[in-house]
Amino acid sequence: GTSEEVAPPVQQCFMVPKKEINVVSDMAKWKRSQAYADYMGFILTLNEGVRGKKLTCEYKVSEAIEKLVALLNTLDRWIDETPPVDQPSRFGNKAFRTWYAKLDQEAEKLVSAVIPKHLADAAPEVAVYLKESVGNSTRIDYGTGHEAAFAAFLCCLCKIGVLRVDDQMAIVFKVFNRYLEVMRKLQKTYRMEPAGSQGVWGLDDFQFLPFIWGSSQLIDHPSLEPRHFVDEKVVNENHKDFMFLECILFITEMKTGPFAEHSNQLWNISAVPSWSKVNQGLIRMYKAECLEKFPVIQHFKFGSLLPIQPVTS
């Protein structure tokens, strides 16, 4: 998905995706699809790209990356412009719907600002993934299916050639990291419910990918081992360098009580001897718990860029 292949001529194939997986029997079709292969290939390519690297290290920042950060900054600004409303229920603040309506209206325009003119026909299809990536406006919830839509959004930008192979580190460290900041702000501001969460048995209420890429960053670290991420001092001193620790910091800010109780799966992971084992285990868990779970993947959109057709290559 991230190789420098020439994308097919756009005009022949772009249409807003209409198909959704809506019957359970289609799960097998999804796992055999080109979309699944491209999506997983993209996740694993980035996993290799950030291996052993700090968030604060030097990397190339292309114009496309700058434009994506600007897009996310716009979403962030809209949160400031749409304060939560007074309402009886504590969770799911209805102001989120106002914020989302603005994105729904502006998404194509935002995407058009990121992609070059000759690819303008791709904007409607790519914008679908952006709109899916911020949570559900009816239920006012957010979960790993929405996160997957953002990764699919980035994957599509790679497929049409907007993002390139040498953007790998910036995709994770600059764009995806900024996306996480905006999502955390949404979750806090509008008190969003976790979507499809397994509660204490899930890895995290909202995210999964930063744990995969974040554990890859820590592979072969000279002093930090998996057992250290439950140590508050270690987290406070290193979270600016490592996505994984940034996630742990956010969890401890949002949850009270012993870590082993509110985040049991992560607590268990802290006993794994090496970061490469953690990384491999998380990739397996991601496939099983997110990509192969119907409630998570039922809303995934297919079109010409991420087709439901079986893998060809």
Per-residue pLDDT of the chain (313 residues; tens, 9 = 90+): 444 444 443 333 444 444 554 443 578 889 999 999 999 999 999 999 999 999 999 999 999 999 999 999 999 999 999 999 999 998 999 999 999 999 999 999 999 999 999 999 999 999 999 999 999 999 999 999 999 999 999 999 999 999 999 999 999 999 999 999 999 999 999 999 998 766 656 789 999 999 999 999 999 999 999 999 999 999 999 999 999 999 999 999 999 999 999 999 999 999 999 999 999 999 999 999 899 888 888 888 999 999 999 997 6
Q: Which residues contact 48 (CB under 8 A, 6 or more apart)?
A: 216
CATH number of 18-85+92-302: 1.20.120.1150
pLDDT tens across 6-45, in order? 444 333 344 444 455 444 357 888 999 999 999 999 999 9
Here the tokens at position 179 are 């996306």
H helix intervals, 133-231: 144-159, 168-170, 177-189, 209-217
CA gap 232, 142 in Å, rounded? 27
Max CA-CA distance within the chain?
Answer: 56
Cα dist from 82 to 77, 91, 105, 156, 186, whole Å: 9, 16, 15, 29, 11
Here the tokens at position 37 are 């292969």
Sequence length of the chain is 313
Phi/psi for 181 (5° steps) reads -60, -45
Is the whole-model pTM more than 0.85?
A: yes
Instruction: Decide: 3 and 280 in contact? Cβ < 8 Å.
Output: no
Residue 276 burial (10 A CB sphere; 0-12, 13-18, 19+): middle
Here the tokens at position 23 are 């019957």
pLDDT tens across 244-289, in order? 999 999 999 999 999 999 999 999 999 999 999 999 999 999 999 8
List for the chain the helix, strand, coil content (%; round to 5): 60, 5, 35
Query: Pick from 82, 45, 128: which is nearest to 304 by CA?
Result: 128
Buried/exposed 93-124: b ≥16 CB within 10 Å, e otherwise: bebbbbbbeebeebbbebbbebbeeebebbbb
Residue 24 burial (10 A CB sphere; 0-12, 13-18, 19+): exposed
Instruction: Decide: 107 and 48 in contact? Cβ < 8 Å.
Output: no
Residue 275: in which H helix or E strand, if any?
helix 275-286
Instruction: Decide: 170 and 63 in contact? Cβ < 8 Å.
Output: no
Residue 163 burial (10 A CB sphere; 0-12, 13-18, 19+): buried
Per DSSP, what are the bridge partners of residue 19? Answer: 302
- How big is the chain by its Cα radius of gyration, in Å? 19
Supply angle C-alpha 196, 31, 269, rounded to 5: 50
The label of the residue with tokens 């890859």 reads: 216
Q: Amino acid identity of 188?
A: K
Per DSSP, what are the bridge partners of residue 194? Answer: 142
